[in-house]
């Protein structure tokens, strides 16, 4: 199989893994935007899918680089295991990306909540809500 087609398949499988990750958690299927209330950037599903594709390509490239750039005559191998790996790495890379974005929102939530008076109902909301909803609850504290 031609290396270009293998790369396309790996990128597609990684993007599929990233796309599945879009539906895990509370971020949902939305385009990138900056929330006018919280002033936080929400990367959206496009970035999640792109990160999944790039993570899968990077992982595949690391495992096959000796065949591609080693100067040897060994042909590049490709199997269903490579596709499964690309799916899993795409999912994991997208999960890492989403976790980093949510960490920023939760850090801002903590900073906002710490500067306000104690509010038990807001604390309960923050403890159980999505990161974005927790930030909104912290901003609405008195």
Q: What is the pLDDT of residues 23-51, one digit of tens each?
A: 886 667 778 888 788 788 878 889 999 99
Percent composition of the chain: helix, strand, coil (DSSP 3-state, to 5): 70, 5, 25
pLDDT confidence band for 72 (50 / 70 / 90): low
In the block, residue with structure tokens 């899918």: 49
Asked if the model's pLDDT at residue 58 lies above 70, the reply is yes
Q: Where are the domains of the chain?
A: 3-101
In whole angstroms, what is the distance from residue 27 CA to residue 98 CA? 9
Give pTM, 2 decimals.
0.77
pLDDT confidence band for 67 (50 / 70 / 90): low
* Percent of the chain scoring above 90 in pLDDT: 35
> How much is the CA Rg of the chain, to the nearest whole Å?
20
What pLDDT sits at residue 36?
81
Helix (H, G, I), strand (E, B) or coil at 33: strand
What pLDDT sits at residue 62?
86
What pLDDT sits at residue 70?
61
């Amino acid at each position: 199989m031609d290396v270009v087609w293998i790369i396309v398949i790996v990128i597609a499988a990684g993007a599929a893994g990233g796309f599945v990750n879009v539906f895990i958690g509370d971020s949902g299927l939305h385009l990138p935007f900056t929330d006018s209330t919280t002033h936080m950037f929400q990367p959206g599903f496009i970035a999640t899918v792109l990160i999944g594709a790039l993570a899968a390509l990077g992982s595949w490239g690391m495992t096959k680089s000796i065949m591609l750039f080693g100067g040897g005559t060994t042909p590049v191998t490709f199997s269903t295991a490579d596709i499964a790996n690309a799916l899993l790495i795409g999912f994991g890379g997208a999960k890492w990306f989403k976790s980093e974005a949510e960490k920023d929102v939760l850090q801002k939530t903590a900073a906002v909540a710490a500067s306000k008076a104690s509010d038990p109902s807001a604390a309960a909301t923050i403890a159980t809500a999505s990161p974005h909803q927790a930030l909104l609850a912290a901003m609405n504290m008195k």
